[in-house]
Amino acid sequence: MKKIVVDTNIIFSCLLNTQGTIGDLIFNSSTIFTFYSSSYMRQEIRKHWDKLKKISKLTDFELETAYERLLTRLTFIDEALIPASVWQQSASLVSDIDEDDVDFVALAKFLKAGLWTGDKPLCTGLKAKRFRRIYNTTDLVKLREKLMN
């Protein structure tokens, strides 16, 4: 199975619409992909809970149900396990793109995994720096189709 690190915008998009393409990838690819995120992500979700609820127009119960379902598909990795050298390499990669994404890049490097993001500047910037294991949602759909055949 292919390891994929999932960033904030993908997780939020899934919570906002579990029936969309992102939800389909997360919930219907368990034989193809293993999804990971940073432990910090759980705090981020709770921090933005009210905003997610407002945007999604879901009740607390509905959003909580979507969140619990999402948690069954993600493995959270403690950032403290990532060596300092990987953090330094990752910080260097994102320093002129978006430093807020360093944890996802570091986790992807540490796990030797792909990074799934909806952040276009991050995708473009990392590809320009020869970071090849980065996918947007369309890329991941194509990769799933390829790996299924």
Question: What pTM value is reported for the model?
Answer: 0.92
**Domains in the chain: ranges and CATH:** 2-79+112-120+132-148 (3.40.50)
Q: What is the mean pLDDT of the chain?
A: 93
33 closest CA partner among 104, 137, 124: 137
Q: How far apart are CA 108 and CA 93, in angstroms?
A: 12
pLDDT score recorded for residue 57: 86
pLDDT score recorded for residue 127: 92
pLDDT score recorded for residue 99: 87
pLDDT score recorded for residue 11: 94
The DSSP result for 33-86, as a single string, is EEEEEETHHHHHHHHTHHHHHHHHT--HHHHHHHHHHHHTTEEEE-GGGS-HHH
pLDDT tens, position by position, 91-108: 999 999 988 889 999 999
